[in-house]
Amino acid sequence: MSILSGKRVLLGISAGIAAYKSVALVRLLIKHGADVRVVMTPASKEFVTPLTLSTLSKHPVLSEFSNTEQENPVWNNHVDLGLWADLFLIAPATANTLSKMSSGQCDNLLLATYLSAKCPTYVAPAMDLDMYQHLSTTANLEKLSSNGVTIIPAEEGELASGLVGYGRMAEPEHIVSYLSDHLLHNAPWYGKTVMITAGPTHEPIDPVRYIGNHSTGTMGYRLAEVAAQLGAEVILISGPTHLISDHPNIRTHRVITADDMMEVVKKNFQKADIAICSAAVADYKPVAASDIKLKKSDKPLELILVKNPDILAWCGEQKKKQYLIGFALETHNALTYAKAKLQNKNCDLIVLNSLRDTGAGFGTTTNQVTLIDKQLSAFPLELKDKSIVAQEICEFILKQKHD
Ligand code: CTP
């Protein structure tokens, strides 16, 4: 999964020959999971057609202030476009467009959108080498940069004029990796390590049977993805589940039993800035697993169970800098038990699931949780998809933990 996944990217295209590369750029951004909309300057339509771009982006492409072709013309709202975007990328950005952006001119929809946008703006200049080196262009780029616009440098190579030098728009692959690196380095958890336990544990009875529970690990995996999207290096310690995570920032350790999970947690906890224990760890295990399959007989089967290590409680005892989050799954007296768990296990936050709530808990794609902070204040969240719940939990942690 890419850091661009789920990001709303507004692509601005101005009138340069490099506009033909915008087609590949749209495809690549979409491949990285971005939702892409396109705004063009009127002249850029000479280089690439809106139909190609709207087909690829699956959104209408806008280039005029109003749609005069319709019987009842509608205003194309540049303010909404600017507010919709998580980031605005202008590629190619011609010398003319850069100059107008730097002086605040606003004679087309792309420029009006730039002036309205509140999101970070990136420009990928594209022009002939002498235009790129011209003092006016250099001054415009410097001014834009000091206004907070990020410049994706032009590259060296053969130009449309036949001359060779700097001025080519960066290749679409380079633009996308530049954006990804920039977003990652500016993400709020860049440089932080987040350790997450997820899924059930299986406690063997014999080689074919185990004690387990209904946890699928979905909540933990969703949390891992959100933490990675926020720039963290994630150590995901997962019990047996069919889930996989393909985000480059997530390192998954697969374990079976609570003892295995404890061992991996012990090796990684000190590295963590944030530790989230979302695993449904089996509280008990058979005192000794049989090496051979137990054969059935007419007598009742007695299993002696002994307690597993409490991983969250261990983290609570060891913690120094770590912000520690525990989960509580309750069927009754939920708030009282959850608050006690927060105090007994020395957590900074408890995420409470109540099995009484429809749509919450094991095996559902949705969840409804209440967050309980160190002051024992309770913040109920609404029933939502587990990815959204994961985002809201991480946003809550971000607000609480500032360093
Ligand atoms: N937990 C853990 N190791 C265990 C048991 C639980 O790390 N052996 C963690 C879970 O990951 C979760 C929290 O403790 O974050 C709550 O687990 P839960 O089983 O609900 O609570 P318990 O403390 O075991 O208490 P009880 O079963 O009495 O509710």
CA of 311 to the centre of ligand 1 (A): 8
Question: Which of 65-79, 97-111, 169-183, 241-255 comes out lowest in average pLDDT?
Answer: 65-79
**Predicted pLDDT of residue 360:** 67
Mean pLDDT on 345-361:
83
pLDDT at position 66 is 80
Query: Would you place residue 65 in the very low, low, confident or very high pLDDT band (cuts 50, 70, 90)?
Result: confident
Q: Is the CB of 279 under 6 A from ligand 1?
A: yes
Determine the residue type at 193.
T
User: Among 335, 369, 368, 367, which residue's Cα sits nearest to residue 351?
Assistant: 369
- Identify residue 21 by its one-letter amino acid code: K
Ligand 1 within 6 A of 311 CB? yes
How would residue 402 be classed by pLDDT, with cut points 50, 70 and 90?
Answer: low
Whole-angstrom Cα distance, residue 324 to residue 336? Answer: 19
Q: Which atom of ligand 1 is nearest to the CA of 311?
A: 7
Contact 37, 58 (CB under 8 A): no
- Give me the long-range contacts of 72-79 (CB less than 8 A, separation at least 24): 76/109, 78/39, 78/109, 78/112, 78/113, 78/116, 79/116
> How far does CA 399 lie from the centroid of its chain?
17
Torsion of CA 98, 100, 101, 103, to 10 degrees: 120
**Active site (catalytic) residues:** 213
**What is the distance between the alpha carbons of residues 237 and 252, in angstroms, rounded to a whole number?**
6
Question: Residue 45, class by beta-carbon neighbours within 10 Å (0-12 exposed, 13-18 middle, 19+ buried)?
Answer: middle
Hey, whose CA ends up nearest to atom 27 of ligand 1? 283
- Ligand 1 geometric centre to CA of 282 (Å): 8
pLDDT for position 80: 86
Least confident of 82-96, 146-160, 163-177, 351-365: 351-365
Judge whether residue 91 has pLDDT over 90.
Answer: yes
| pLDDT score of 103 | 97
- How many of the other CB atoms lie within 10 Å of CB of 228? 24
Distance between CA atoms of residues 324 and 319, nearest Å: 8
pLDDT at 363 exceeding the cut of 90: no
**What per-residue confidence (pLDDT) applies to 246?**
87
Q: What is the pLDDT of residue 322?
A: 96
> In this structure, how many other beta carbons lie within 10 angstroms of the beta carbon of residue 172?
20
From ligand 1's centre to the CA of 231, what distance in Å?
A: 28
Spatial CA neighbour of 278 closest among 196, 215, 349, 381: 196
Pocket test for ligand 1, best of 257, 277, 330 (most atoms within 8 A of CB): 277
**Residue 395 pLDDT greater than 70, yes or no:** yes
Mean pLDDT, residues 109-132: 96
Q: How far is CA 281 from CA 213, 253, 303, 401, in A?
A: 9, 15, 19, 26
In 3D space, the residue among 328, 228, 209 whose CA is nearest the CA of residue 279 turns out to be: 328
Cα separations in angstroms, 38 against 57, 79, 108, 110 = 8, 14, 14, 9
Average pLDDT, stretch 363-392? 92
Average pLDDT value for residue range 318-340: 94
Q: What is the pTM of this model?
A: 0.85
CB 312 less than 6 A from any atom of ligand 1: yes
Higher pLDDT, 161 or 120: 120
**258 touches ligand 1 (CB under 6 Å):** yes
- 265: tokens are 């947690």
Ligand 1 atom at shortest distance from the alpha carbon of 307 = 8
Assess whether the region 8-185 and the region 193-402 belong to the same CATH fold. yes
Give the angle subtended at the CA of 390 by the CAs of 389 and 392, to the nearest 5°: 65
- Residue spans of the domains in the chain: they are 8-185, 193-402
Query: What torsion, rounded to 10 degrees, do the Cα atoms 35, 30, 110, 99 define?
Result: 130
pLDDT at residue 1, as a whole number: 79
If one looks up domain 193-402 in CATH, what number appears?
3.40.50.10300
> Looking at residue 361, what is its pLDDT?
65
Task: Check whether 159 has a pLDDT greater than 70.
Answer: yes
Distance from the CA of 46 to the center of ligand 1, in angstroms?
63
Q: Using pLDDT thresholds of 50, 70 and 90, give the confidence band for residue 92.
A: very high
- Find the mean pLDDT for residues 129-156: 97
- Please tell me the residue having the least CA distance from ligand 1 atom 8: 310
pLDDT over threshold 80, residue 306: yes
Q: Is 328 a pocket residue for ligand 1 (Cβ < 6 Å)?
A: yes
Please tell me if the CB atom of residue 326 comes closer than 6 angstroms to any atom of ligand 1: yes
Chain segment 230-284, per-residue pLDDT in tens: 999 999 999 999 999 988 899 999 999 999 999 999 999 999 999 999 999 999 9
Confidence of residue 326 (pLDDT cuts 50, 70, 90): very high
CATH 2.60.40.1660 fits 8-185, yes or no: no
Q: Give me the mean pLDDT over the 49-77 stretch.
A: 86
Looking at every residue in the chain, the average pLDDT score rounds to: 94
Over 70: is that where the pLDDT of 356 sits? no
Ligand 1 mean position, distance from CA 143 (Å): 56
> Which residues, other chains included, contact 302 with Cβ-Cβ below 8 Å and sequence gap of 6+?
none
CB-ligand 1 contact for 281 (6 Å cutoff): yes
